[in-house]
Structure 1
Amino acid sequence: MPHRPSTDPQGPFHVDQLREGDRYELSNGHPIYCAPSDRDHAGSNLIGAAALETDPDVEWAGVDAGFAPDSGTLRAPDVAIGPAGTERGWIPGAPPLAVEYAARGQDEQELQDKVAELLQSGTQQVWVVRLIGPRRVEVYRPGEAMRVVGPGEILSAPGLLRNPVPVEALYDRDAAHRAALRNLLQREGYESLDAVRQAGVADGINQGINQGINQGTAESILALLAERGLVVDPPTRERILGEQDPGQLRRWLIAATQVQEATRLFE
């Protein structure tokens, strides 16, 4: 479908005439065909979505979600970040953060029109990931000149994302996995994988100390019973040595000074 001149008058179509699954967006009432994606484009969409959706501050993210800022406009960014909601059907307004992937066959004028419409409708940032030529991301913000960010640099969206996003995480699978892992760990209360390891070591140390204390208490119980000349049969010995509750061990230790038979320890 040829690009629609920006001077065209209002088109005849409305958002409510489109159904989920229709391969069209609307711009000022004019339909815009959205072609299927090739391997590179489709894979990058998923990669970038994973790196962004897992951020601890993200409430909702979607791929190809339809946003309708007015009755004649329906735009579906490749990836969108926004607040949680319960709407059925098209989402009113525009996403705070939108990501577009520009690959082979991209209609450049249509892309720029889409970016402009999103920004005019309330989107705070649009990131255009260029998959042809040197990999890079173009950052568009309302009232600002477009900025190019390249590999080795980071992207940020204060108020939307907690963590900076390495440019590579929007198209490189390994980089996206590293970003997603960091995000998921933070959602569980860990700042990094090193923090998980350190917590594991600390838990192991504490567990070892507790086990040592329990073992010492159990052996003290057996020694006290033996000193009093009480016979400890194998099942009783095994039960005492296997007990992990410090409170129970303390109660048995006190009882060991009073019972007349070792088996009565458990009464």
Structure 2
Amino acid sequence: MGFVDLLIAEAKFMYADTLRRRSLLLAILAYPYILMIFILLVGSSMGSPIFFEEKVGLTPVVFLVTNGFILMSMLSIVDDILWRPILDEFIGTLPYVISSPTSRLKHYLAIPIPRLLLVFLSWTTSIVPIYMYYYGFTGLVEASITLFMTVSASLSTIPMVMLLIGIVYGLGGGIWRIVSVIRPLLLLFTGVYYPRRFMPFIGRLICYAMPQSHIVEAIQIVLVAPQLDYILTDVFMLLGIATILIIVYSPLSSRSIYFWEHARVREGVKS
């Protein structure tokens, strides 16, 4: 089975799953607004939004909706890859997945790509209206830049997540507990809700090793800058660092997937 066939199969699976769980689709679209309202209510009881704007450089509404959109975009990809082996084992399809001649590497690369349609839907319902309200028609340009960079950040998580999958599932034992710990840590150190420039030194070091955190910081720089001409060098430098990290993690992720596959073949899979 070729890569295109895998994409079509995953797209059909995603379409059927979305129709079956319409409430989940509604939650994905509403999440940026729900989280924005919740944080604004809690934050307003502790201080004025003006202090937030002075500290971060953005109005709380734009910052929170943008980061809610980025978080859901990454979550849709990270969750699908991290939990797929557990789902296959739970529903009894893991023996067929392992014994299939289809490359597991191609399979896990194909899983998140159809989910980008949900990212686009969330963009049209959250980023576009908020940016146009605050910035007018010029906000559509920044919204388009945000969409492109968010998709790039989401896809840049794939090699690292595949590397973690191979190690965690290859070693075995308490897998779902380990995944439950890894998942929030991955999202925390992307710098979405807590910009990495405010993190302690150890936190920043961890962020620097994650390609998506560099792209997230580039998005935040674009939104804060008065003109794009002033920050192009910084943005391209961050995107370049993210690209280098992706290149470094890619061969490691493929070896990690093969390690998991061989480990399961040696011990046998339970149907």
Counting strand residues as a fraction of each chain, which structure ranks higher? 1
Name which one, 1 or 2, has greater alpha-carbon Rg. Answer: 1
Higher relative contact order (CA 8 A, sep 6+): 2
TM-score, length of structure 2 as denominator length: 0.24
